[in-house]
Structure 1
């Protein structure tokens, strides 16, 4: 009987934690993530920072703007900067602290050493809330580049995958 009581109390204590992570229509979120790399002598280094702002249209759907800034520094060369700005729409599945999502994004890429062009494609990700407002997120984007709408069919197979991990906050 004592074991049943303890188990029941433990389960009851977990119920509010599961219900914590349920954004609703009108809630907003921001995310921030980054990555970097260097060769063994630090002669060539790269840094990437990604952030986003979004607003929930419902408990499951989120739209927003995502920004990525990249810097690449090679010894003896000036730092090369590039970036991309995209609008996205994501649909979240389930409820509770862990929620996978799928979506689409479209925008542009620009900067030093890149052809300034449009980009777009599908994305898939996962969010896990650590408390009521804070979550960790992972995202995989498949982006293809195109100059105009007529190029989309020709360039879809020539895309690239982009990965990111970060932290987010709902308010």
Structure 2
């Protein structure tokens, strides 16, 4: 009996210290980001010219900071390889900044925003790009999501109907 009481006392004391030293934040069942969170994404991407006769596919990633629960600002990077009417081994890239308005509607969070940056490489003409974007994030748990987004970027001083369509699908993580 003495051993059982001694074992119970040691167990009670050790579990109390473990709880007191725990640095784990409290659990919250709220979907999506919070003010001050960072967000990283990784996905497949594609781009099509204004007449949709040449296409490129590649990889994209982003890093965003949530100024508010509904306002992420950040940077995106895309690398591509092309195919189409003029099949050749070419590459391209686009580096851009973005500002989005994201509707915090639970698991399903649509967003709309603006992007601006620079495109370069053999697949694109080297020039400044800017334009609108739209997309949706679907939260799998409190910090992980899948997303789809589209951008229509204008190149330099070209007309509105001479832009390029960029699209991405992938996954993301808030931390």
- Normalised to the residue count of structure 2, the TM-score between the two structures is 0.71
SS of match in other structure, 1:157: helix
Point out where structure 1 has 5 or more consecutive residues left out of the alignment.
Answer: 1-15, 37-44
How many residues get paired?
139
Please give the root-mean-square deviation of Cα atoms over the aligned residues, in Å: 2.4
Q: 1:48 aligns with which of 58, 61, 68?
A: 58
Secondary structure at the aligned position of 1:90 is classed as strand
Return closer, same or farther for 1:73/1:93 CA change in 2, 3 Å cut-off.
closer
CA distance in 2, matches of 1:140, 1:46: 14
SS in 2 for 1:24: coil
Gaps of at least 5 residues in structure 2 are: 1-26, 47-54
Specify the structure having the higher radius of gyration (Cα): 2
- 1:25 deviates by 1.6
Tell me what 2:14 maps to. none
State TM-score, norm by structure 1.
0.73
SS at match of 2:159: helix
2:163 alignment partner in structure 1: 159
- Determine helix, strand or coil for the equivalent of 1:166: strand
Which structure 1 residue ranges, 4+ long, deviate > 6 Å from structure 2? none
